[in-house]
Amino acid sequence: MTKQSFLSDKPIETKDRLIFALDFESTGAAKAMVETLDDAVTFYKVGMELFMAGGYFELIEWLIAKDKKVFVDLKFFDVPQTVASAIKRLSDKGATFATIHGNDAMMKAAAATKGDLKVLAVTALTSLDRGDLDDLGFKCDVEPLVLSRAKRALESGCDGVVSSGLEAKGLRESLGSKLLVITPGIRPVDNDDDQKRVVNVETAFRNGADYIVVGRPIKLADDPYKMACDIQDKIEKVFNKSL
Positions annotated as catalytic residues are 75
Residue pair 187/199 in contact (Cβ under 8 Å)? The answer is yes
The 3-state DSSP composition of the chain as helix, strand, coil percent (nearest 5) reads 45, 15, 35
C-alpha 238/C-alpha 222 separation (Å) is 25
Which residues make Cβ contacts (< 8 Å) with residue 79, sequence separation at least 6?
106
Count Cβ atoms within 10 A of the Cβ of residue 194 and give its class: 0-12 exposed, 13-18 middle, 19 or more buried: exposed
Count Cβ atoms within 10 A of the Cβ of residue 175 and give its class: 0-12 exposed, 13-18 middle, 19 or more buried: middle
Distinct helix (H) and strand (E) counts, the chain: 11, 8
Query: Side chain identity at 181, as an amino acid letter?
Result: V
The whole-angstrom distance between residue 106's C-alpha and the CA centroid of its chain comes to: 19
> Strands 43-46, 69-76: parallel, antiparallel or unpaired by DSSP?
parallel
- In the chain, the N- to C-terminal Cα span, in Å, equals 20
